[in-house]
């Protein structure tokens, strides 16, 4: 971990550690379909994410972006096709599901911190109860991560006493405490006040700089431009277009993508 943490927006991004593996597949989704009841919510999804890749998933609301990343740690079940995460295929076998979840961190739109626990307890809960880490060691690690997201002084407060931006940074730190190999972000800044978006994005950027494999559902197109290797555009449960950011924004191919970009980029 080199110290590149002078987090400011508009800064140039340190790409020294952001190499994408050519051979190591982090997530492989093959011909995947999912239904909610009769509703065909995800159709024919094929997506391969290499180790170290940073993917941004964009698209209109209801297009299935969130459902797709929730399938990756099986908060949602898929009914057809394959999802292989870190070499483990997700099936109804709970052991495999647990195995995958231990290695995949997730950050939610509404933070989903545990309100009855302090910030520190939020961070140490999973290491202690899932990994069996001794309490003292878990707390030490937790403090390191709180310092990384720049709120070590809030460790003993309850989530309800923090601002939205602080809560989301705690949520990120909580995921990191499990040392995940992959991070999923489900609209992490959508529920935040405008002034707080930056502090969360800064943390995400610094994660990217350390080479974390990331999949982000987000409407932050600036973040997509700066950080992503690939932008995946979805509509009606399908992947419509996939491109590296430069091409995606300057030269969209599909009509729906052009329409979407014209709506959000003023």
Partner 1 sequence: MSSSQTFFVRSEMVPEQAPPRSNRGIGAWLRANLFSTPLNSLASLIGIVVVGWVIWNVLQFTVFNAVFSDPEGLRGAACRPTEIGREVGACWIFIQARINFFIYGFYPAAETWRVNVMMLLGAILLVLLLVPKVPYKRVNAVLFFVVYPVVAFILMGGGVFGLPQVPTEQWGGLSLTLIISLLGIICSLPLGILLALGRQSSLPVIKSFCIGFIELWRAVPLITVLFMASVMFPLFMPQGVNIDNLLRAIVGIILFESAYMAEVVRGGLQALPRGQSEAASALGLNKLKSTMLIILPQALKHAIPGIVNTFIALFKDTSLVSIIGIFELLNTVRAANADSANWGAPTTAITGYLFAGAVFWIFCFSISRYSIWMEDRLNTGHKR
Residue/partner pairs of 19-22 with CB below 8 Å, 24 or more apart: 19/52, 19/211, 20/50, 20/51, 20/52, 20/53, 20/229, 21/50, 21/51, 21/52, 22/50
**How far is 61 from 166, CA to CA, in rounded Å?**
26
Q: Whole-number minimum distance, CB 264 to partner 1, in Å?
A: 22
Q: Whole-number minimum distance, CB 213 to partner 1, in Å?
A: 16
β-pair type (54-58, 213-217): parallel
Binder of partner 1 out of 52, 59, 159, 237 (CB under 8 A): 159
Of the pair 130, 259, the CB lying nearest partner 1 is at 130
Q: Whole-number minimum distance, CB 185 to partner 1, in Å?
A: 12
Residue 75: partners with Cβ closer than 8 Å, 6 or more residues away? 106
Q: Whole-number minimum distance, CB 7 to partner 1, in Å?
A: 25
Site string for partner 1, 63-102 (x = CB under 8 A): ----------x-x------------------x---x--xx
Stretch that binds partner 1, among 137-145, 152-160, 198-206, 229-237 (CB under 8 A): 152-160
Assess contact for 120 and 137: CB atoms under 8 A: no
Where residue 238 falls (left for φ over 0; alpha for ψ -120 to 50; beta otherwise) is beta
**How far is 76 from 86, CA to CA, in rounded Å?**
18
* Residue 37 interacting with partner 1 (CB under 8 A): no
* Residue 207 interacting with partner 1 (CB under 8 A): no
Binder of partner 1 out of 51, 148, 174, 230 (CB under 8 A): 174
Report residue 90 as tokens: 């997700």
Assess contact for 26 and 53: CB atoms under 8 A: yes
Assess contact for 197 and 189: CB atoms under 8 A: yes
* Residue 36 interacting with partner 1 (CB under 8 A): no
Q: Whole-number minimum distance, CB 131 to partner 1, in Å?
A: 8
Report residue 85 as tokens: 């995460």
Binder of partner 1 out of 37, 132, 160, 194 (CB under 8 A): 160
Of the pair 90, 126, the CB lying nearest partner 1 is at 126
Of the pair 176, 221, the CB lying nearest partner 1 is at 176
Coil/strand/helix, residue 76: coil
* Residue 161 interacting with partner 1 (CB under 8 A): yes
Stretch that binds partner 1, among 14-22, 46-54, 111-119, 206-214 (CB under 8 A): 111-119
10 Å CB burial of residue 188 (0-12, 13-18, 19+) is: buried
**Residue indicated by tokens 């730190």:** 173
User: Site residues (CB under 8 A) for partner 1?
Assistant: 73, 75, 94, 98, 101-102, 104-106, 108, 110-116, 125-126, 129-130, 158-161, 174-175, 178
């Amino acid at each position: 971990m080199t110290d590149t943490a002078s987090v400011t927006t508009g800064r140039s991004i340190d790409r020294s550690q952001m190499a994408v593996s050519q051979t190591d597949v982090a997530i492989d989704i093959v011909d995947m379909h999912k239904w909610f009841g009769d509703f065909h919510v995800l159709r024919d999804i094929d997506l391969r994410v290499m180790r170290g890749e940073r993917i941004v998933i964009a698209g209109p609301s209801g297009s299935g972006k969130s459902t797709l990343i929730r399938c990756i740690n099986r908060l949602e079940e898929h009914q057809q096709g394959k999802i292989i995460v870190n070499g483990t295929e997700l099936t109804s076998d709970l052991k495999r599901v647990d195995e995958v979840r231990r290695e995949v961190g997730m950050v939610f739109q509404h933070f989903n911190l545990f309100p009855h626990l302090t910030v520190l307890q939020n961070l140490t809960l999973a290491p202690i109860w899932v990994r069996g880490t001794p309490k003292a060691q878990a707390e030490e690690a937790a403090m390191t991560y709180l310092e990384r997201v720049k709120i070590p002084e809030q460790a003993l407060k309850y989530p309800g006493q923090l601002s939205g931006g602080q809560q989301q940074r705690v949520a990120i730190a909580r995921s990191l405490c499990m040392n995940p190999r992959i991070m999923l972000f489900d609209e992490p800044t959508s529920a935040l006040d405008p002034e707080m978006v930056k502090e969360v994005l800064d943390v995400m950027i610094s994660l990217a700089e350390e080479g974390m494999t990331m999949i982000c559902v987000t409407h932050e197109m600036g973040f997509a431009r700066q950080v992503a290797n690939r932008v995946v555009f979805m509509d009606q449960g399908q992947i419509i277009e996939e491109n590296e950011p430069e091409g995606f924004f300057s030269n969209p191919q599909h009509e729906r993508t052009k329409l979407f970009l014209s709506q959000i980029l003023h």
